[in-house]
Structures are given as structure tokens and as C-alpha cells.
Amino acid sequence: MVGYETKVYDSIGNSHDRKNLYLKEVAELQEKYEETKDINYKNKLKELVSNKNSNKYIIELNKAKEEEKEFLKGLKTLAEKHKKDNDNILPKSLLKLDVEFRLAIEKIEFYKKYVDLSYDFELEYKSNKILVEQLPLIIREYNNLNKDIRFINEELKNIDKNQENIVKKEIEEYIEDRKKLLEEQKLQLKDKKNKGIISKKAYKNEVKQYKYKFKDDIETKSFESKEKYYINLKKSIEFIFKDGIKTRKKILNADISDLRRKTPVEVENKDTWKAIVTIPIPGLGQILNKQYMKSLFFLIGSLFIYSVAIPYNLGFGNYQGTGISGLLSLAEGGARLDKSLIFMIEGIIAFVLLVFAVLILILSFKDVHGVLKNKFKGVRENNWFETKDNIENNGFPYIVSIPALILIVFIVIVPIATALLLSFTNMDPDHQSKFSWIGFKNYSMLLKGEGMAGSVFWKILVWTLIWTFGATTLSIFIGFALALLAHNERIRGKVVFRTIFLLPWAVPAFITIMFFSIMASPGGAITEILSGIFGTDVLIKNSTVLTRIALICLQGWLGSSYIFLLATGVLQGIPGDLYEAADIDGATALQRLTKITIPLVLFQTAPLLVSQYTFNFNNFSIIYLFNQGGPFNPTNYGNLAGSSDILISYIYNLTMVNGYQAVGAAITIFISIGLMIFTFIGYRNSKAFKEDI
């Protein structure tokens, strides 16, 4: 048997004594039995439950409910009669309010007798009292505004057209005269400005004042036209009519809502079946809970599940694939034109739609289950006004985030999932159209350094780490050193120096890299200069070591401007008092640098410096534009990579040039995991992050 409490609780958390004497007696017997384990209480409880229909309170409650049914039938007849009698007398919206008011009076008289019998009857009694108190004010205001509008309409009909035309002509003449006066005033002001009597700013301000005065005078004069006066007055009243009535109705609904929150409800059963039946059909449980407007949203979810998600998962609406089953088959045994990649992508989309469908089912179930659970405790379900108010106050961030979430899923999550799944396949030059699952073979090949792609993986990874650390650290050192130099008090022409130091960032990197690539080519300026210095041919692009050194130096120079900008901003914000105090304590220049400047700059810029390392780890453009990953050394790097290729350019060669998409995807996953770990550790260990948490 369901366990009851002796008290019920409203939505605020206040406890109330039960009015349902039958449930109260059941709860008391259950409580006594739990405390004493006395079999007599258990027998009394069984007897009470078995004789429920003969219980005095239940008989009285059922009788009241029967009387309520008859009363509500009579009210329906009364409402229809009142509508019919006043249909041609009152406007529809006013008639609706008037009917509601009259019915509320009748309900007060009926429910007054049963207030102590049930909290439902008490709620009906008190809510109708609120209606009787506030509806007359709304009706009166509605009537007054309606009378004003009717009066204005009559006045508009009775306007003398001839007299109105005369007035309009006078207004037009006044406007012309007023325009001439405005031009004269402008000329006078211009003359004063030219003679130096008033400043340019004062001239502009005076002109503005004259224009404002001109508009006010025209507006005032235009109201001499009765037609315009009454039209504007009518617009004002209609606005008050619409906004004022709406506000009063909102206050009325808020008062009734507040009463509902403070008035509990008593139910005999948990009705968990309502939550169960809503599992296959979201929205059905909300209908059973009489939350009809809320059910519409979940019914739209049901429509999505049964018209989009499930059909797509079964293959309907797919371009080539077979829905979620395409993830398993990957077009195996399919038509000649079927592509495994399309089957995979459509399978992933099907899975995403399935996840959305499951989320809707879970949300619907949790909503219905939560309402039923709270109702058993005594908390009433929200009506539409309360639900809407809750959405406006608490649900707005979630509502505006949903479109962005959907975009993120299809623009970010689906491509990432595709790359992840591709890494477990054998998509290579021999299996471009149709490929199959091979498990962790690609990862095993990379870790063991086997095969054409895996044999150079570790070499490229080591060079990538050297490149990332070298290029980024060099750019940080150069940028910080230049910032210190430009910030020095003894330096003159700081603006010029700062402009020069920012040029590498101001000029597009594409142009700079191509320019240096040409100069480092055989016969280029840099090559010729170095050859002259060393007395031998220095072929930068033909040497692995020289190419790598050139790349690190070039990126150090390109990235220094950004670091310079960051460091300059922080240096300008360091209080001079710190340095003065350090000088008084006898600190040397090196101590001031290491104890004050560097810690403060690192504290402010540490997260951005970490991002510089991750950026350079994936800096494809400089590697490709400078020497296309060369020089090429097939003996050490095979035919799939050059000796200056880093992992990101190696992935490009594997996937876009040579067709090893599966291995490229596996390396991408490696990179992603590694960068996430490095970034997390970097942020975690920075002082800025530690102090923020």
C-alpha cells in the first residue's frame, strides 16, 4: 500500500493539515504501525481501506463532487444564456469578462459550503473571490476606455470638412513661415560664427536648439486640426486599452498563481502509470496532468521522433546510407556507386537524431514523473501562466542556447565523430570508395612505427615538438625583450619603435612567409649573402637543418609582435610604486626584472602564452608556404613526408595528397588528445587560473 504522510506540503514548502479525513486516518495508522509494529494497527488499516466506500468523509466528499457536477452543468447553461442575451449589447471581449464575473459570484456561493471539506474546494472559493474583487476594476476600465473611443469616433464623423481644410491650409502656411524663420536664425548664427562671436561648437548647439523649437512649434500648431488631435488621442487610448487591460489581467493571474502555490492538493494514488504511458508518446502525460499548453511542446517533440528521427535511423530520407545500420555495414555488399564514407556520415547523423529523440523522451518522462511525485506530497501542478512565467524567468538562457547547441552538434561534433570513426577503418588509396572496420590497427601501426605511414611518425613527432618549443619560446623571448626595450624610460621615439615592432603582425603572414621563401631560395638575397660570408654555396631549402633553423627563426620573428603587444599592455599597467619600493630596498635591475616584471607579465599572459604553443603545434601555413615541407629525403622520410613537415602538414599529405585518410584521422586524434592534455596542464598550473578558482 502507498505510504501517506499526516501532512501535505505546498510548493513553497509550508506544511498543512490534511482535510481529507480518510487519508489522514490512513496516514496516522501507517505511522503508528511503523513505530510500534503492532498488528492491531495493521488490521485497523486493512479494515479502513476495505470499508473505504462506507467511510463518512468519503461519502460526504463524493456527495459534494456530485453536487459540483450538477452545479457546473447549470453554470454552463447560465453562461450560454447570458452570452445570448448580451451578444449584441456588449463587445465580445467585455462580454467574456462579464460572464466570468457573474460565474465567479455563483461559484463563491457554492464552494463556500465545502471550504473545510477539500483543498480543491478551498482553492476554487478563494480564486473566485479574487476574480470578484478584481474583474469589476478591469470591466470598469474597459468600459471607460471603450466609451472614450466611441466618443472620439463620433467626433471624427462630425468634423466640418470645410473648416478642417481651412485649418490645414493655415497650418501649411504656418509651416512655410516657420521654415523661413528657421533659415533666418541659421544665417544669423552663421554670421556670428564667421565673425568669431560664437565658437563652432556653440553654433552647432544653437542650431540644434532652433531645430527642436521648430519641431515643437509645428507639432503644437498641427493639433489645431481636430482630425489630427482626435486621431492621436485615439491612438493613445488604444495603447492604454491594450497595455493597461493586459497588465491588470497579468496581476489577476499572478494573484491566483500565488494562491495555487500556497494551497496544497490531496491525492490518493501516485498515478505512476501516467509517467509510463508518456514514454512512447511525449506530451501524453502532460495532457493527463491537464497541462495542455505544455503538452504541445512535447507533442512537437513526438512529431520529430516519429517523423524525422526514427525514419532517418531506419534509412528513410538518407542520400545513400541505411540509417544507423550504415555505421556497421559501411556499404558492404552495397551498389557499386555506394560510398562507405557517406554511409558513415549518415549513420552518425542518425545516431545524433536518435540521441535527441531519447533526450526528449527522458525530459518528458521526468517532467510527468516530477509533477506526479510533487502532487502526491501536496504540490499542485503548474498551470500555463505559471509555466510561462517560469520559462521567462529561468528558462530563457536554455531556450536561446538550443539553436547554438544544434549548430555545434552538426558543425563540430559530427565532423569530430567522423574523424574518430575513420581512424578505426582501412580507408587508404586502395579503399577509397568502400572500406571496412579494422579496429585499433592504425593506432598500433603508429605506436610501433610500422608501415609507410607509421615508420616516420615518431621522427615527425619529435621534430614537431622541437619546432613548437623552439619557435614559440623564441617569439616569446624576442617579443618580451622588445617590449622591455620600448618601455625603457631612456628610450626616445617610443611610438616609432612600437610601430616598427608591430609590423610583422600588421603585414599578412602569407605575404611575409612567401617573401622570405623567395629570399631563402637558391639565388635569393639571403642565400647569396650567406654564401658570400661563408665562401661556399649555402642552399637553405636543400638542407634539412638549415630549413628547420630558418623556419624557427622566421616564426620567432612573426610571433614576436603579438607577444610584444601583450607584454607592452601589461608593462604599462604595472604601478611605478613597486619599482620605487624595490629601488629603496636596494634591488638591482636584474632583481627588479625577475622579481617584479616577469612574474606580473606571466601572471597576466600565461593562458595566452599556452595558446601560442598549441597554435604553433598546428601551424600548417608556414611549413607549407616556406618549402612545402621539404627538402624531401625519401631515405629517411619515405614518399609521404618531407624533412620539415610537422604533424599537421604530414596529415595534409596523408589525406589530401596520398589518400591515407584513416591513418591521418588516427594522427589527428593523437594530436587532439595531446593538445587537450597539454593545454589543461598549462592552464591548471598558471597562477592566473589558480587564483581564478
pLDDT of residue 636: 85
Is the separation of the CB atoms in 125 and 112 below 8 Å? Answer: yes
The stretch 215-234 carries a mean pLDDT of 86
What element of type H or E holds 7? strand 7-9
Cross-strand pairs, 8: 16
Is the separation of the CB atoms in 669 and 419 below 8 Å? Answer: yes
pLDDT of residue 310: 95
pLDDT of residue 592: 82
Q: Which of 316, 356, 344, 332 has the alpha carbon at shortest distance from 415? A: 344
Cross-strand pairs, 425: 437
pLDDT of residue 526: 92
571 grid coordinates: 608593462
Which residue reads 618580451 in cell numbers? 480
Q: What is the largest CA-CA distance in the chain?
A: 118
Rama region for 16: left / alpha / beta (φ>0; ψ in -120 to 50; rest)? beta
Q: Residue 312's pLDDT band (boundaries 50, 70, 90)? A: very high
Is the separation of the CB atoms in 210 and 185 below 8 Å? Answer: yes
Residues in the chain: 693
Domain 465-641 has CATH 1.10.3720.10: yes
Q: Which of 671, 685, 687 has the alpha carbon at shortest distance from 615? A: 671
pLDDT of residue 478: 94
Q: Which of 548, 543, 515 has the alpha carbon at shortest distance from 531? A: 543
3-state SS, one letter per residue, for 148-166 = HHHHHHHHHHCCCHHHHHH
Rounded Cα distance between 390 and 377, Å, is: 21
pLDDT of residue 421: 95
**Cα of 283 vs its chain's centroid, Å:** 25
The stretch 233-257 carries a mean pLDDT of 84
Tell whether omega for the bond before 631 is within 30 degrees of 0, i.e. cis. yes
In sequence order, which ranges of 574-660 are alpha helices (DSSP H)?
Answer: 576-584, 589-592, 598-617, 620-627, 634-637, 647-652
What contacts 62, CB < 8 A, 6 or more positions away? none
pLDDT of residue 1: 57
Which residue reads 502532460 in cell numbers? 286
The stretch 213-218 carries a mean pLDDT of 89
Q: Which amino acid is at 37?
A: K
pLDDT of residue 544: 93
Q: In this predicted structure, which of 101-115, 394-408, 437-451, 647-661 has the lowest mean pLDDT?
A: 394-408
What element of type H or E holds 558? helix 544-573
pLDDT of 449 strictly over 70: yes
* φ, ψ (nearest 5 deg) of residue 377: -75, -25
Rounded Cα distance between 270 and 400, Å, is: 35
pLDDT of residue 441: 94
pLDDT of 543 strictly over 80: yes
Q: Based on the number of CB atoms within 10 Å of its own CB, is 281 exposed (0-12), middle (13-18) or buried (19 or more)?
A: middle
pLDDT of residue 104: 94
Cross-strand pairs, 9: 15
What contacts 583, CB < 8 A, 6 or more positions away? 592
Would you report the helix, strand and coil content of the chain in percent, each value rounded to 5?
A: 75, 0, 20
**Cα of 39 vs its chain's centroid, Å:** 59
**What percent of the chain stands above pLDDT 70?**
98
Name which residue leads in pLDDT, 546 or 678: 546
The pLDDT tens digits of the residues spanning 142-163 come to 888 888 888 888 888 888 888 8
Which residue reads 494551497 in cell numbers? 263
Rounded Cα distance between 311 and 315, Å, is: 6
Q: Which amino acid is at 341?
A: L
What contacts 303, CB < 8 A, 6 or more positions away? none
Is the separation of the CB atoms in 355 and 385 below 8 Å? Answer: no
Is the separation of the CB atoms in 146 and 94 below 8 Å? Answer: yes
Is the separation of the CB atoms in 324 and 277 below 8 Å? Answer: no
**Cα of 348 vs its chain's centroid, Å:** 24
> What are the angstrom distances between the C-alpha of 211 and each of 53, 181, 189, 208, 215?
84, 11, 13, 5, 6
pLDDT of 687 strictly over 80: no
pLDDT of residue 686: 63
pLDDT of 629 strictly over 70: yes
pLDDT of residue 141: 84
pLDDT of 623 strictly over 60: yes
pLDDT of residue 690: 55
The pLDDT tens digits of the residues spanning 276-306 come to 999 999 999 999 998 999 999 999 999 999 9
Is the separation of the CB atoms in 360 and 282 below 8 Å? Answer: yes
Helix (H, G, I), strand (E, B) or coil at 291: coil
The pLDDT tens digits of the residues spanning 501-522 come to 888 888 888 999 999 999 999 9
The pLDDT tens digits of the residues spanning 327-339 come to 999 988 888 888 9
The pLDDT tens digits of the residues spanning 365-399 come to 999 999 999 999 999 999 888 888 888 888 878 88
pLDDT of residue 298: 94
Q: Which of 556, 336, 543, 319 has the alpha carbon at shortest distance from 433? A: 336
Is the separation of the CB atoms in 251 and 134 below 8 Å? Answer: yes
Q: Residue 689's pLDDT band (boundaries 50, 70, 90)? A: low
- The mean pLDDT value of the chain amounts to 89
Interhelix angle 509-519/544-573, nearest 10 degrees: 140
289 grid coordinates: 496532468
301 grid coordinates: 517533440
Rounded Cα distance between 111 and 127, Å, is: 11
43 grid coordinates: 488490521
Name the residue ranges covered by the structural domains of the chain: 55-158+225-268, 161-224, 270-422, 465-641
Half-sphere exposure of 654 (CA within 13 A, CB side): 27
Rounded Cα distance between 100 and 108, Å, is: 12
Is the separation of the CB atoms in 283 and 299 below 8 Å? Answer: yes
Cross-strand pairs, 15: 9
Is the separation of the CB atoms in 149 and 238 below 8 Å? Answer: yes
Which residue reads 495555487 in cell numbers? 260
First to last CA, the chain: 50
Provide the 10 A C-beta neighbour count for residue 205.
13
Name which residue leads in pLDDT, 685 or 124: 124
